Amino acid sequence: MNPAETLIDTIASQAGLREEISRPKVEQLLAPMDFGGRLAFVERLLRASPTDREWLEFIEPFLIHETYFYRHPSQLQYLGQNVLPALFEERKKSGRKVFRVWCAGCSSGEEVYTIGLMLRDALRSFAQADAAAWETSVIGTDLSPDMIQKASMGRYTVSSGLNSFRDIPAFGRQHFEAVLSQQTTTWTADEGLRKSTSFQQRNLLKDPAPATDIDLILCRNILIYFKEADVRAILTKLEGSLRPGGVLLLGPADTMRNADGFDMLSDGRALLWKKKGRLSP
Ligand SMILES: C[S@@+](CC[C@H](N)C(=O)[O-])C[C@H]1O[C@@H](n2cnc3c(N)ncnc32)[C@H](O)[C@@H]1O
């Protein structure tokens, strides 16, 4: 057995990461060990199931958790102004005031809370006095138990350098005023936001979707790390969990490989994918 190649193959098959991403870190990890030590390390790891703590701790340094509130604001502005009102309208016509979102690969949760805030803002304009009658939920999933734990806490602190608050656009600023004007160093999700959000540790490649009949899925800045065959399999899974007419938002650098089941939505600010079909009343 070649320990480095075995590890790279295992990481690709279990977590989906491409060889170019994992190889430098695998080589760095194995460098201090002699051949016997490398073999023993890999054999022990192969005995662990990919859901075991030991395996998840091994994979953690290979994951890239970069994220922040209102990331890719022009996409989100298009979503909030044009797409969310249309999706609410479709739900209303179908007779159910429910709205489900899945953030796949949510990292430390900033994306989930951003969408939670955007749903609240959009519903206030769309439903006005009736906003409270809507039941919204945003589910965040990630492979990393550490990120899921951080996300569940819903507390973010200003630190030096790049941080969660680095690029908040004018349309989201109202929610972060205290932090941005330096009255406080910590932002905490309020009770309403916490009630409408939840987090689950899940492997996007191996585990089923956390729900069905979903209105909106965000899967941003994660597929770029996966092999093409895995990207296709994941996109099929995402499509299957969307309701007819539901919308998929990928990252600007992610490539859509399953366009047949979707119509493209765009106004130059963003490109979103609307699943074909209509909700029946
Ligand atoms: C770069 S972050 C993107 C976070 C957020 N979507 C955003 O755009 O700001 C990618 C996330 O995908 C997660 N990830 C990588 N492989 C995964 C897998 N197989 N299953 C679930 N999550 C995975 C990583 O742990 C990481 O937190």
Domain ranges of the chain: 3-62, 73-275
**Cβ(151)–Cβ(140) under 8 Å?**
yes
Sign of the CA dihedral with 201 first, then 206, 212, and 217 last: positive
Q: Give 145-199 pLDDT, tens digit per residue.
A: 999 999 999 999 998 666 999 999 999 999 999 999 999 999 999 999 999 999 9
Q: Give 16-46 pLDDT, tens digit per residue.
A: 999 999 999 999 999 999 999 999 999 999 9
pLDDT of residue 259: 82
3-state SS, residue 190: coil
Determine the distance separating the centroid of ligand 1 and the alpha carbon of 105, expressed in angstroms: 4
Span 10-20, mean pLDDT?
A: 93
Determine the distance separating the centroid of ligand 1 and the alpha carbon of 222, expressed in angstroms: 5
Angle between helices 3-15 and 19-30 (to 10 degrees): 140
**Cβ(34)–Cβ(21) under 8 Å?**
no
**Cβ(211)–Cβ(239) under 8 Å?**
no
Sign of the CA dihedral with 202 first, then 204, 207, and 212 last: positive
Q: Tell me the pLDDT of the chain averaged across its residues.
A: 94
Ligand 1 site residues (CB inside 6 A) read 15-16, 63-67, 71, 105-107, 111, 142-144, 147, 203-205, 220-222, 251
Which residue type, as a one-letter code, is found at position 222?
Answer: I
Determine the distance separating the centroid of ligand 1 and the alpha carbon of 249, expressed in angstroms: 14
pLDDT of residue 208: 97
Site to probe by mutation for ligand 1, drawn from 17, 22, 107, 166 as the one with most ligand atoms within 8 Å of Cβ, is: 107
Which residue is closest in CA terms to ligand 1's atom 7? 67
CATH code that applies to domain 73-275: 3.40.50.150
pLDDT of residue 222: 95
Atom of ligand 1 nearest to the CA of 103: 6
Determine the distance separating the centroid of ligand 1 and the alpha carbon of 119, expressed in angstroms: 22
Minimum mean pLDDT range among 68-77, 121-130, 188-197: 121-130
Residue 100 binned pLDDT confidence (cut-offs 50, 70, 90) = very high
Distance from C-alpha of 280 to C-alpha of 204, rounded to nearest angstrom: 29
